[in-house]
Amino acid sequence: AVIDGHNGMGHVVAYKSMKLAIEKAKTYGMGMVAVRNSTHYGIAGYYPMMAVEDGMIGITGTNARPSIAPTFGVENMLGTNPLTFGIPTDEDFPFVLDCATSVAQRGKIEVYARAGKELPEGWVIGLDGKPRTDTQQILIDLTKGKAALTPLGGIGEETAGYKGYGYATVVEILSAALQAGSYLKMLTGVGSNSEKRPIPIGHFFIAIDIEPFTPVEEFRKLAGDILRELRASKKAPGQERIFTAGEKEHLAWLSRKDKGAPLNEILRKQLVQLRDELGLDKYRFSWE
């Protein structure tokens, strides 16, 4: 099916689309919905989890505002274009792989900026094709087309950056061509006269019913066995633990649902400053 979001809230459009994909999978064994003219849909991993809760495999992808340069290029052409999978297991948490097709994304760079740290080399390149690490200026230049994120694998072919570039392109095609939507530079949010305009991004959602292939409980156990065997494999010197996708997030959720999320010192100072500017003098943070 194809859904036109009419530039509405991406979260609402995406939720409806994955629900429809799941319903189709219940009838036909597999359901797929392609979306055009949507907006940012939030946490990509949420939607495959909807399928997992129904005992299915869930997949989603989305294009986005251009920020990744193609391999051997310096111009931001592709979005960070996450490709996300959710797979049920017999453990307390499913296998959930939710990651961009770039080495890093803007949110990660903002974390470094708030901490006052330079970026690791290889995340971002300038117009000269060389790595950049000046975090604060990078955040400005990414919006002006003066810097670009590198695809998964990094710069050039030596560390296989072409693989991330290829995956980002697959997501772009499935998020645009399949539903006759917008793509690449059509998603800058800037018109021909420099006016701001909506960014009509596209998504796709896939739900796969496991039962037509194998009993779902048998699948859950086999999937769990694979993950447990991976975690039990020989560890590198100095490493205490091997993780599988979704495990760290599950452990973090168990901790933070009771204790809250940790804040670095710079963010704490910013919150105190904002409180004082708003005149909320009676409120005190727990760390003061």
Q: Alpha carbon 59 to chain centroid distance?
A: 12
Three-state secondary structure call for residue 208: strand
Residue 197: inside a domain = yes
Classify residue 124: in a domain, yes or no. Answer: no
Distances (CA, A) of 214 to 27, 198, 209: 16, 44, 10
Tokens at 49, concatenated: 């989890």
Is the pLDDT confidence value at 29 over 90?
yes
Classify residue 222: in a domain, yes or no: yes
What's the whole-number mean pLDDT along residues 259-284? 90
pLDDT confidence of residue 192: 81
The answer to whether position 18 is within a domain reads yes
Residue 59 domain-assigned (yes or no):
yes
Q: Per residue in 66-120, pLDDT tens?
A: 999 999 999 999 999 999 999 999 999 999 999 999 999 999 999 999 888 999 9
CATH number of residue 174's parent domain: 3.30.1370.60
d(CA 260, CA 247) in angstroms, rounded, equals 18
3-state SS string over 137-166? HHHHHHHHCCEEECECCCCCCCCCHHHHHH
What is the predicted pLDDT for the residue at 193?
Answer: 84
In one letter, which amino acid is 235? K
| pTM for this prediction | 0.92
- 108 and 120 in contact (C-beta within 8 Å)? no
Say if 88 falls within a structural domain.
yes
pLDDT tens string 6-23: 999 999 999 999 999 999
Q: What is the pLDDT of residue 265?
A: 86
Residue 116 is assigned to a structural domain of this protein: no
Helix or strand run (H / E) with residue 49: helix 46-53
Q: Tell me which residue range forms the domain holding 72.
A: 2-103+150-245
What amino acid is encoded at 248 in this protein?
K
What is residue 82's DSSP assignment? Answer: -
Domain count, the chain: 1
The answer to whether residue 70 is domain-embedded is yes
